[in-house]
A = this chain, B = another copy of it.
Amino acid sequence: MDATDLVGLDLAPDARTTSLRAELAVFVAERVIPAEAAHHAEVTASGDRHHHSSVLEGLKAEARARGLWNLFLPDTEHGAGLTNLGYAHLAELTGRSPLLAPEATNGSAPDTGNMELLHDFGTTAQKDRWLAPLLDGAIRSCFLMTEPDVASSDPRNLATRIERDGDEYVITGRKWWTSGAASPRCRVGILMGVTDPDADVRGRWSMVLVPMDAPGVRIVREIPVYGRYDGHGGHPEVALDGVRVPVSDLLGTEGGGYAMAQARLGPGRIHHCMRAVGMAERALELLCARADARSAAGGPLAEKGVVRSWIAEARVRIDQTRLLVLRTAALMDAVGNRAARREISAIKLAAPATAEWVIDRAVQVHGGAGFSDDTPLALLWSHARTLRVIDGPDEVHAEAVAERELRRQRAGRGTA
């Protein structure tokens, strides 16, 4: 640890966060988690996996009434005005029920990142049209970034074109893993595409707002995750065939797409990691409950040495991961997202891996029930597993952490 590494070590929540956290903990434990089954039943009965359940709408109303709404937004006018550290303490709790809690508190991806972009870069007209209903939970949104058939970890591979034609942009391309886009509640997408193919990495891409009902926008197919077609709008492949939007739908400046994407990714990644800690805690809770309830070969599973060794390892892994996530959040507060980007890469490696490990052990303790949807474990697992690819695969983040460490060590040796 360098002398400069002594910043960002106070990980305690402030008084307001402590209070919000206590309220959110109660809300998630007493209202959200008990409602999961009813939501699931309502969606199943509707015959439409993207059905927006009255259960969820009720939870939203309740969260709002309790002041547990838009907690993610650092802005104090529209959001809770929390620091990254403060939000980390809260977001973990929503990760305990990834199916319902984030949306119930209006803190789902990709809406949060989209709202931040609109908040930071949107014109007044754009904010009125899209940010307001998003902050209100009236609509949802998607983020059109990843493309099939290219390695998305490198934006240089993106091929979707945004071409100026008079007062309009014409968009042509194909996106996938466009989470949420298949829901009728998803009304707008933020699309990243190439405006200037001759520009270098900084000026090449722009972002435009695309109404999902614009002519030429088409859901090609939904993509399953390990065979599961997710609700809440799923993860479709979206074709954009000559979609025309007015130039006023440009978000920020032309050529500013890369910088905005970078700005968006930092918080997005840490939000995923915060929730991953909560997912791991939920899994450990289920694991312990099952270990107490189920007997085999002469005694409860909770008395089997191997199961106990998993519980101990889970506890240690989760506690370490939470501290690293909190510390990264505190560091972002202290030095900014960009200076903390290697620490963000580090938690992007650590948190999904921890969640995946704990969830998988919980599945094993549940036997066949662990694979089924009789518990949330199978869903939690696929969330955790996909996080090892989403927003940059593990290998890309490891590479970034290693490169930084080598440079740091060289500097320490005076050989940089």
Taking beta carbons and an 8 Å cutoff, which residues of A are in contact with B? 1, 3, 6, 9-13, 18, 21-22, 25, 92, 146, 148, 151-154, 176-177, 223-230, 281, 284-285, 288-289, 291-292, 294-297, 302, 304-309, 311-316, 319-324, 326-327, 346, 349-350, 364, 367-374, 378-379, 381-382, 385-386, 388-390, 393-403, 405-406, 409-410, 412-413, 415
Contacts and interface: CB of A to CB of B under 8 A. Distances in A.
A413 to B, nearest CB: 6
Contact of A9 (B224, B326, B346, B372): B326
B401 A289 contact: no
A9 B6 contact: no
A378 B226 contact: yes
Contacts of A402: 308-309, 311-312, 315
28 contacts: A3-B25, A9-B326, A148-B369, A151-B294, A151-B295, A154-B297, A225-B372, A225-B378, A226-B227, A226-B228, A226-B381, A227-B228, A227-B382, A284-B405, A288-B405, A288-B406, A306-B306, A306-B398, A307-B395, A308-B398, A309-B398, A312-B399, A316-B346, A323-B324, A323-B327, A364-B395, A367-B389, A371-B382
A368 B406 contact: no
A368 B18 contact: no
Given A306-B309, A399-B308, A177 B322 contact: no
Contacts of A285: 409, 412
Given A227-B382, A367-B389, 17 more contacts: A1-B92, A1-B281, A3-B22, A9-B11, A10-B11, A176-B368, A225-B227, A227-B373, A228-B228, A284-B409, A297-B399, A309-B395, A312-B402, A316-B324, A316-B349, A368-B390, A371-B389
B320 A350 contact: yes
A43 to B, nearest CB: 13
A401 B313 CA distance: 9
Contacts of A327: 11, 319, 323
Contacts of A307: 305, 395
Given A227-B373, A297-B396, A320 B324 contact: yes
Nearest to A413: B289
A190 to B, nearest CB: 19
